[in-house]
Amino acid sequence: MARPTSASIHTDALRHNLAQARARAPHSRVMAVVKADGYGHGLERVARALEGADAFGVAALSDADRLRAAGLSQPIVLLSGFDEADDLPQLRRLGVETVVHHLSQIEMLEQAADGEPIRCWLKVDTGMHRLGFAPEQVREAYARLSALAGVADGIVLMNHFASSDEFANPQTPAQLRAFADATAGLDGARSLANSAAVLGWPDAHADWIRPGGALYGISVVEGTTGADFGLRPAMTLSTRLIAVNRVRRGERIGYAATWECPEDMNVGVAAIGYGDGYPRAAPSGTPVLVGGQATQVIGRVSMDLMTIDLRGIPDARVGDPVILWGPELPVERIAEVSATIGYELTCSITRRVRFVET
């Protein structure tokens, strides 16, 4: 094996996290969101581990095609909705449900040829201002969809929260009120809760919850990790030391010479970089584990390599394992110092990383 960088995917953690979501919302059905190649964990691998979910959520029809090819028979919902009329036969062929968020989609459905009715999820814009019908447009959109023979009975009403990761933010209660007002008296199941709302807003659980990052053990609530909510990380990113170098005091490390050795010291070189998906933005001081011992990145992360402070690990040797994130080192800690979120880090793992299912 020429390159030791690997991402171990813990399928037992995926199943545990699904069970945690069900425990938090025991009266709700669960749509497992597996978009972005299962948040970087591998679409088919994740879906098989989460086959106890009531439905899957994807962002692209190609993902739905892959799930069907893998033998998954659960309902699949196209979360961003279809883009053009030519998508409708594909939705029918795959048995995929679709979010409807714009007047143009209703018009395409009205003009479509006859075929098997498609189940629709009508999206209400209650304050995210990304996709969805404004509250005053919802009733007309609902009526037009309900009148179509090509739309299946049982339209689901949904929204998306903008600030549900901030448990004291008044925007989420305001969105709940706006949704309730806009949909009052309309038949159909309701779906409101993303991962953060599953964890922190029980009033939003409704008929369907849509956990994404939580299924992978990741929190987006500032200052927390998934473990704080009883979740388990589903990915361990690891590599090995390929060099241990003795560097003198005052010498500088890496591109742009951003880190100066404060003393004569050992510097480790690990076979991982931004070409593998590790963030180039990770600064000196970002935590890593070498042989299970805590230390830090020093110098700038390069495409294929990173340099590591070995002052506290005098016995470190070439071949020692290096953990970049996993159960012992939450991905949220690396995300925080890199000014991003854990979702982005797991989604960024590149094709040259070897995936191992555990």
Which residues are designated catalytic? 35, 255
| Measured distance between the N- and C-terminal CA atoms of the chain, rounded to whole angstroms | 19
The continuous run of DSSP H or E covering 105 comes out as: helix 103-111
3-state helix, strand, coil in the chain (%, to 5): 30, 25, 45
| E strand or H helix that includes residue 195 | helix 195-200
Question: ∠ at Cα 264 (261, 267), nearest 5°?
Answer: 65
Task: Look up tokens 């490390």; give the residue.
Answer: 253
- Residue 151 per-residue DSSP state: B
DSSP 3-state assignment of 276?
coil
Are the C-beta atoms of 126 and 135 separated by less than 8 Å? yes
Residues contacting residue 342 through CB under 8 Å, at least 6 positions apart? 213, 218, 219, 220, 330, 331, 332, 334, 335
2 Cβ contact partners less than 8 Å away, ≥ 6 residues apart = none
Please give the Cα distance from 6 to 328 (Å, whole number): 16
Amino acid at 129: H
Q: Which residues, listed in sequence order, are joined to residue 253 by a DSSP beta bridge?
A: 259
On whether the CB atoms of residues 124 and 179 are closer than 8 A, the answer is yes
Q: Are 295 and 308 in contact (CB under 8 A)?
A: yes
